[in-house]
Amino acid sequence: MDSSAVNTMPGDVNSMFQTILSIMENTQKEVQNLRHECAELRLSNASLEHQLRDSANGRHSPPIAPGSPLLRATRSPFLTPPISTNVPAFAANYNPSPLGDHALSVGFPFTRSREIPGFYVVIPAGGAGTRLWPLSRENHPKFLLDLTLKGRSLIQATWDRLIPLSSPSRTTVVAGPSHVKTIREQLPELGVDNIFTEPGPKDSMAAIGLAAAVLAKRDPNAIIGSFAADHMISGDDAFLSAVSEAVEVAKKDFLVTIGIAPSYPSTGFGYIRLGKSVGIAEAPNALMVDSFKEKPDAKTASNYLTTGKYRWNAGMFVTKATVLLELLKQCKPELAAGLAKIGDVWDDPVSREKVLAEVWPTLEKIPIDNAVAEPAAADNKVAVVPATFGWDDVGDFSSLSDLLPAEQNQPKILGDTNLVLTTQVYGGIVVPGSGRLITCLGIDDLVVVDMPDTLLITTRARSQEVKSLVKSAREAGWSQLL
């Protein structure tokens, strides 16, 4: 081979490699732009379709203030209170969630509705604001934040996602006293009687059981679905289909959960082992739950995925309110009796306060999985609908980083990008919440959360330990910052 040809080959290969990289980067940018445009088109088309439907029916929505709080002038995960305006908003039955990618699957002129008569939505809105501290706080946990900078908080997106199946009159929220005011501001359509204020945190069984006790008293035939206020979901159409199928199974007196297809061997989630088919024609995908598994170690989680018989447990439950209360009576009779006593007087404000003060402090603090789901599964009373939609509980800054867009090999920025300058920085997430300029040089996978009163610096790998840092801050006398 000619020596001159050998000498020129490395340069040619390097040039070709650089060309390929450049093409890939440009293609990635074009794909991101197309996704953004598609999302905007979906929202615009949905609004237009509602206008056309109302016009076809001879109805015209009056100009009202938009239900969504508007963003601040600078990009921020904090939403302002609702602002009165004359911009018309169409009070249609469906408002697609901006956190999802839902496309209306029914053709104009909307020959069918997805609303399920007798189905009540329960949104537990709890949290101490520790996992995303100092971005989230005790009085402003993550479900009140707009973590995608799209103008809707997580609880608003949860509301948007579920309204097609119920209605404002059949959508309820369970929350603590310190969060009620902001929830009412963010969800102006939420009925006054449909926010159930729990005096103190007692975990998911008491929260969901409280809603079940109240709703069973109001409607003995109520089927309830419990969906956390702070989860992100993509694929709204698949989500709505899974919930609809779960309702069909719940009609047969099952406690039903929705299993998320695991995308990696997570050690941070519980798992559901799938059993045999339930055998209900209206719910062809529904299976019996063989068992619930606690959060596994890495090796066990990998083995779970290899079998194909496991799903993540996202804590979503659908059942008749009376069935849940009966299961609770069998498994935790004292807790069931206390919630029944509260439910009996809930709609009498005077009696409610008296009974709450007397009973609530005595209730056992326990998750719904341990209280009823696990023992009921052992008795073949729990079913699961395996789902195909995307799901994340946004449990730490690392998972939040995965959900945000960014340029290739650049950190994710939750806030005003003009406040962040980086050089040779790969991965990680930066939250410029103080208004100060943040500069980073030569550091990878860093988590920087800069708030007016607090600065957090850690790594993505250790972001799950932020809760322990909050505990240390409390012990050191910094409770006012938590």
pLDDT in tens for each of the 482 residues of the chain? 454 444 445 566 677 767 776 676 666 666 555 555 554 555 444 444 444 444 444 433 333 333 333 333 356 777 754 433 332 232 333 333 333 333 333 333 333 578 999 999 999 998 888 999 999 999 999 999 999 888 899 999 999 999 999 999 999 999 999 999 999 999 999 999 999 999 999 999 999 999 999 999 999 999 999 999 999 999 989 999 999 999 999 999 999 999 999 999 999 899 999 999 999 999 999 999 999 999 999 999 999 999 999 999 999 999 999 999 999 999 999 999 999 999 999 999 999 999 999 999 999 999 999 999 999 999 999 999 999 999 999 989 999 998 888 777 788 999 999 999 999 988 899 999 999 999 999 999 999 999 999 999 999 999 999 999 999 999 999 999 99
> What's the structural domain count of the chain?
3
Q: For position 149, what pLDDT does the model report?
A: 84
Instruction: Kindly report the pTM of this predicted structure.
Output: 0.78
Q: For position 30, what pLDDT does the model report?
A: 63
Partners of 421 in the beta sheet?
439
Whether residue 287 is found in the same domain as residue 365? yes
Give the residue carrying structure tokens 């410029």: 432
Q: Which helix (H) or strand (E) holds 138?
A: none
With contact defined as beta carbons under 8 Å apart, do 145 and 136 qualify?
A: yes
Q: What distance in Å separates the CA atoms of residue 383 and residue 288, rounded to the nearest whole number?
A: 4
| 301-302-306-310 Cα dihedral, nearest 10 degrees | 10
**Residue 107 belongs to some domain of the structure:** no
Q: What distance in Å separates the CA atoms of residue 23 and residue 3, rounded to the nearest whole number?
A: 31
The domain boundary, picked from 355, 380, 395, lies at: 395
Q: For position 55, what pLDDT does the model report?
A: 43
Q: What are phi and psi of 139, to 5 degrees?
A: -90, 0
Whether residue 340 is found in the same domain as residue 210? yes
Q: In which domain, by residue range, is 33 found?
A: 1-60
Whether residue 265 is found in the same domain as residue 281? yes
Q: What is the CATH number of the domain that holds 216?
A: 3.90.550.10
Whether residue 385 is found in the same domain as residue 407? no
**Residue 75 belongs to some domain of the structure:** no
Whether residue 388 is found in the same domain as residue 415? no
